[in-house]
Amino acid sequence: MNTSIETTKETQIFSQLANTWWDEQGPFKALHEMNPIRLQYILSHIRNHFNDSKNITDIKILDIGCGGGLVCEPLSRLGYTVTGIDQSSEAIEVARQHAAEQGLNIRYHCKDIQELDEHYNIITLLEVLEHVEQPEQLLKSALDRLAPGGLIFFSTLNRTVFSYVAGIFLAEKVLKWAPEGTHQWSKFLKPCEIIIPLQGFGIIPLDVTGISWSVLNRTWKLTSKLEGNYIGVGVKK
């Protein structure tokens, strides 16, 4: 069964824009701006979960759909052992080159999850599930690589009227925060459409939190409202 990280159409879009991954004012500007709050959330849960029971260098992280490495690099700088995979060979090449320029030891692969033979303490699926045809199968394949007691993080867009207006009409067509055609509203996922499959695969949900854009402060923030972007975490039994 095909569990490619992205569909062919969307892989082509991201591949064509690969050289702009690290342009903070380019097509991936919204991800650059969202990155600090996502990392704050992830690191908070990692530190709380492991509670100094493991050395940072012993914690292995897999970022699925890593793109140019926006999440991998800051985690690597903190000392975690990081691997990133993506279906776009162009994005992986950009990620490798940028990591080398920064002196970071990150393993990047252009391959499917089933081709990996390691287990990881942390797996992240950030802005990925809305780009695949079979998100449940991707979750299952990811969890096959998650070590017992490990954490899985996911972030995506809820399938609501608000998310269509904000995530597609405004973000892609008006504000140009994302390349037009990047998202399909029908593939956005309600939180229960992730939580229920995760529970069926042996994951205990720990939290789901909204991520919203503050017009006043011009930054992303965590919120209890889940009608747009949201991020969540679960632990493997």
pLDDT averaged over 10-residue windows placed end to end, the chain, 237 residues: 51 82 91 96 97 90 97 98 96 97 97 94 96 94 97 97 80 66 86 98 98 86 96 97
**Residue 24 domain-assigned (yes or no):** yes
What is the reported pTM?
Answer: 0.91
Three-state DSSP string of the chain: CCCCCCCHHHHHHHHHCHHHCCCCCCCCHHHHHHHHHHHHHHHHHHHHHHCCCCCHHHCEEEEECCCCCCCHHHHHHCCCEEEEECCCHHHHHHHHHHHHHCCCCCEEECCCHHHCCCCEEEEEEECCHHHCCCHHHHHHHHHHCEEEEEEEEEEEECCCHHHHHHHHHHHHHHCCCCCCCCCCHHHCCCCHHHHHHHHHCCEEEEEEEEEEEECCCCEEEEECCCCCEEEEEEEEC
pLDDT of residue 13: 76
Domain holding 78: CATH number?
Answer: 3.40.50.150
Q: What per-residue confidence (pLDDT) applies to 2? A: 44
pLDDT of residue 112: 92
Give pLDDT, residue 14. 77
Q: Is 59 within the bounds of a domain? A: yes
| Confidence at residue 193, expressed as pLDDT on a 0 to 100 scale | 98
Residue 1 is predicted with a pLDDT of 34
Residue 20 is assigned to a structural domain of this protein:
yes
Domain count, the chain: 1
Q: Is 2 within the bounds of a domain?
A: no
- What was the pLDDT predicted at 9? 67
Q: Identify the pLDDT of residue 218.
A: 80
Instruction: Decide if 3 is inside a domain.
Output: no
Domain holding 181, by residue range, is: 8-236
